[in-house]
Structure 1
Amino acid sequence: MSRRREGLRIGASRQAPAPRCAPPRRNGPDTPRLARPRICVCLAATDHGAALKRGFGSSSGRSPREHDRPSARSRAGAGVALWSEWFDRPAQVALVEAIRAVAAQAPFFTPLMPRTGKPFSVRMTNCGPLGWVSDRDGYRYQPAHPDGAPWPPIPAALLEAWRALADCPVEPDACLVNYYGAGAKMGLHQDRDEETFAAPILSIQLGDEAVFRIGGPDRRDKTRSFRLRSGDALIFGGPARLAFHGVDRVVAGSSTLLPKGGRINLTLRRVRPF
């Protein structure tokens, strides 16, 4: 059987689900690896002119600094929410170690563009029951690393973040791990290789800041850009589930989390229907 057939694919006729606006559950005292969100920028799921909702909280005792966040964040689009430093510094350090353990079992590899075979500028691996791959056969999810070994489990801290933020009744079954080194970026694209769009995409940032760009479900829609910082949690679902998005650039040297610099992006997804 070809690798193309082994992967999971979607039908082009699937539509994004109706928006869900339930507020995220806060962390309790028994979840020390997660920091309470210092700043939340959450857009009501109506239209791109929706009113901004902000919630503040801090387990560190520091006051939220709203002026640290560019106003572009408040105009990112309906169905998009950002939690500033959801993972505090100790939690980020622990998460980097967890990702190193993942990479020891499933080494980073360079995905290729379908048909042309052009290499991506990012290197990647996966964890969870399914992992996303790209090569000359196309984009797909499959249960094993290109070397044939199964993907390692998703780290517990990431599952805790999903349960707290995703408002989804089931666990994610895939977590993409992308490493952005010097000069790496990601062009505008949609996440539509999943079999369901009923769950949101949860994106966790580690390391250097990234200039993130997001638009609408049509490539011609107007886009907004803003910076994502280490520890931030970004979620998009409902009307934004199929929004075009990408990374314009990584701001080298903006974080000291990774000894050799660069950025790790972790995206948790639900691939299979539920």
Structure 2
Amino acid sequence: MDAELFPRGRTEIAPGAVHLPDWLDADRQRRLLEACRGWARPPAGLRTVPTPGGGTMTSRQVCLGWHWYPYGYARTVVDGDGSPVKPFPDLLGGLAREAVVDTLGADSLGTDDAARYDIALINFYDADARMGMHRDSDESSDAPVVSLSLGDSCVFRFGNTESRTRPYTDVELRSGDLFVFGGASRLAYHGVPRVYGGTAPPELGLAGRLNVTLRAGGF
């Protein structure tokens, strides 16, 4: 918004979990969106994710670097077209490192290979899509998780490390926002209970929400 009654600023939601609004300016949002559109093309493109119970996730996903499936990683799209996963680009590695420094400080990056960012999960949400409470626990590395939002705003529910239930905090994430969680919050449950359709910046040209999640596998 151009005029905020209460301007949005950096907020520590929990120890090690930081929301930084408007981290990506309009130009960087456009460039990241254009890259995501290229990555979403087949082979190994945007897919519907099957769940172990026989259903499907309501968001659609494309992976870079390593292919995530419930609940592991592979080098090919084992639950899709079987193609090799697209490589993890330097662009996203640079964004991940910059994001961690800006939110948690350079000391949170670490210096070993386990802290090297090499996984991107890009989820597309239409207005009816949701993401249930879950933990990002399939990685060997404990490097912070970096989350970037493009397009429609959403409610991001950030919980605790013990269960999917309360206590949790609901945060509105808008296009360009950054959310990073590591340290004591690295294995906190989180989800997206609501997307606000039609709230994307018109100049972005995106109907829906893209979430770009960057992780270090440590494999």
* TM-score for both structures, normalised by structure 2: 0.84
Q: Displacement of 1:189 after TM fit?
A: 1.0
The correspondence for 1:124, drawn from 49, 61, 64, is: 61
The correspondence for 2:149, drawn from 205, 211, 235, is: 205
3-state SS of 1:253 partner: coil
Determine if the alignment matches structure 1 residue 147 to structure 2 residue 81.
yes
What runs of 5+ residues in structure 2 fail to find an aligned partner? 101-107
1:4-153 mapped onto 2 (5 Å cutoff)? 67-69=6-8, 74=11, 76-105=13-42, 106-114=44-52, 116-128=53-65, 130-134=66-70, 139-145=71-77, 146-153=80-87
Distance in structure 1 (CA, Å) of the matches to 2:82 and 2:93: 25
Between 256-265 and 202-211, report the one with greater CA deviation: 256-265
Distance in structure 1 (CA, Å) of the matches to 2:204 and 2:129: 16
Q: Displacement of 1:247 after TM fit?
A: 0.5
RMSD: 2.3
Larger radius of gyration: 1
Identity of aligned residues (%): 36
The aligned counterpart of 2:182 is: 237
Count the aligned residue pairs: 202
Moved over 4 A (4+): none
The one-letter amino acid paired with 1:140 is G
Determine if the alignment matches structure 1 residue 162 to structure 2 residue 162.
no
After superposition, what is the alpha-carbon deviation per residue over 1:25-57, rounded to whole angstroms, capped at 9, x for unaligned?
xxxxxxxxxxxxxxxxxxxxxxxxxxxxxxxxx
Distance in structure 1 (CA, Å) of the matches to 2:93 and 2:203: 21
Change (3 A) 1:78 1:244: same
Distance in structure 2 (CA, Å) of the matches to 1:269 and 1:213: 19
Change (3 A) 1:88 1:233: same
User: CA contact under 8 A between 1:214 and 1:246: conserved in structure 2?
Assistant: yes
* TM-score for both structures, normalised by structure 1: 0.68
Distance in structure 1 (CA, Å) of the matches to 2:156 and 2:86: 28
Quick one: higher RCO (CA 8 Å, sep 6+), 1 or 2? 2
Question: Higher strand fraction: Structure 1 or Structure 2?
Answer: 2
